[in-house]
Structure 1
Amino acid sequence: MSHVLSPHAALIVVDVQPDFMPGGALACHEGDAIVPGVDQLLRSRIFRHVVATQDWHPRGHVSFASSHPGRAAFEQISLYGQPQTLWPDHCAQDTPGAELHPAIDWSALDAVIRKGSDPGVDSYSGFRENHGPGGARPSTGLAGWLRERDVDEVFVCGLARDVCVLWTAQDALELGFRARLLWDLSRPVTSASDETTRAALQAQGIAIVESARLTAI
């Protein structure tokens, strides 16, 4: 079944950056497999609005395992009363691994949301930072930007499906947007998470859509 795009729909491309590709600092499972499809979708210009998010960490970021002596990457700690995964150093500001992927034509972009630039707070979602001191989740400004353009439905793709893509879709729904996830144009950190991710999306009513089914009005 095809999905006809409303003129009030937007595409959010999450963290398609070299550090998340095979061989990168924080490689996602088959992360490079989505690059041609994302490029094709952006070149198609079927979305009126397109936003990319970009992980953009200062060195010594709190989410890096290297910032916690004696801890290893992928261990979990408590940070501000919430679980925090410790990651390999990745997407350091002004490094090649943090750039938007060079094999994609980004000329269709309307905006880039850089996230994770606060050294003391991690940031998965394109809409809000993770929990910080006092439990707050500060806004990135994306929700307001979309509302100013009368967007009420978002399609999310990118990396990683089980972390930043999932959180972005969940926040979109919580903030009042209809949310869809483009499964074929996303990949997880680890494929072992796919069943859990599907279950979370289905439980919350976030539709799983294939990019080939998208058509413009």
Structure 2
Amino acid sequence: MSRTLSPHAALIVVDVQPDFMPGGTLACHQGEAIVPGVDRLLRSRVFSHVVATQDWHPRGHISFASSHPGRAPFEQIALHGQPQTLWPDHCVQGTPGAELHPGIDWTALDAVVRKGSDPAVDSYSGFRENHGPQGARPSTGLAGWLRERGVDEVFVCGLARDICVLWTAQDAVELGVRASLLWDLSRPVTPTSDDATRATLQARGIALIESANLAI
């Protein structure tokens, strides 16, 4: 079923960066497959508002396994009272792997939200950082930016489907914005997570659509 785009809808492109592509330090499964479709969607200029998020970690970030002697990537620890996956070093500020993907024409962007810059707090969602030392999840400012522009619906795509894309869509709904996830323009860290992702989307009332069904 096609979806007609409202002038009050925004596209959020999550973390389409070289470090999340095959060959990158934290490669997503078939991550490169979404690049042509994201590029076409941005070139179409069908969204009134387009935002990209960008993982932007300082060296020695607390989410890096290398910051925890004796720990390995993908192990879990407790951090600020919450489970924290330890990741390979990725999207380090100023490195080529942290740049927005060069295969996409980003000139349609209205804003870039950099996240994960606090060395002591991880950040998955484009709307809020993960839990910090005080127990709260600090805002990135994206919700206010969208509110100022009258946005009441977001379409989310990018990487990784099972983490940062999912958290962004969930936070949108929690903050009172309708959300849809563009399934074909997202990829997971591992495809074994897809069933759980679909179940979470359904439970949260987040529509799962294909970009071809956008009525543009």
In the superposition, the TM-score normalised over structure 2's length comes to 1.00
Cα distance between partner residues in 2 of 1:87 and 1:166: 18
User: C-alpha displacement at 1:215, in angstroms?
Assistant: 1.6
* Match runs of 1:36-51 below 5 Å: 36-51=36-51
**SS of equivalent residue, structure 2 residue 134:** helix
Letter of the 1:134 counterpart: Q
> 8 Å contact 1:46–1:215 — kept in the other structure?
no
- For 2:49, give the aligned amino acid: H
Question: Taking every aligned residue pair, what percent have the same amino acid on both sides?
Answer: 84
Query: What's the CA shift for 1:10?
Result: 0.1
Q: Answer yes or no: is 1:21 the counterpart of 2:21.
A: yes
1:144-163 CA-partner distances (Å, limit 9, x unpaired): 00000000000000000000
Counterpart code for 1:200? T
Q: Secondary structure at the match of 2:161?
A: coil
Hey, what's the Cα distance between the residues in 2 that align with 1:179 and 1:37? 19
**Cα shift readout 1:118-152 (whole Å, capped 9, x = no counterpart):** 00000000000000012110000000000000000
After TM superposition, the structure 1 = structure 2 runs for residues 7-86 of structure 1, keeping only pairs within 5 Å, are 7-86=7-86
The CA distance in 1 between the partners of 2:204 and 2:93, in whole Å, is 34
Is 2:125 the partner of 1:125? yes
Conservation of the 8 A alpha-carbon contact between 1:77 and 1:84: yes
Unaligned runs of 5+ in 2: none
Partner Cα separation in structure 2 for residue 193 and residue 42 of structure 1? 27
Q: How many residues align?
A: 216
Tell me, in whole angstroms, the C-alpha distance in 1 between the residues paired with 2:29 and 2:103.
18
Matching residue of 2:204: 204
CA contact (8 A) 1:156 1:179 kept: yes
In structure 2, how many angstroms separate the alpha carbons of the residues matched to 1:26 and 1:46? Answer: 31
Kindly report the root-mean-square deviation, in angstroms, between the aligned alpha carbons of the 2 structures. Answer: 0.4
Alignment partners' CA distance in 2, 1:66 and 1:103? 30
Q: Output one character per residue of 1:156-181: Cα deviation in whole Å (capped at 9) or x when no partner.
A: 00000000000000000000000100
- Aligned residue for 1:35, secondary structure, equals helix
**What is aligned with 1:160?**
160
Give the SS at the match of 1:61: coil
**Structure 1 runs not aligned, ≥5 long:** none
Distance 2:130 2:96 in 1: 25
Task: For residue 38 of structure 1, report the CA deviation from its aligned partner.
Answer: 0.1
TM-score, scaled to structure 1 = 0.99
For residues 57-206 of structure 1, the aligned pairs below 5 Å read 57-206=57-206
**Matched letter for residue 213 of structure 1:** N
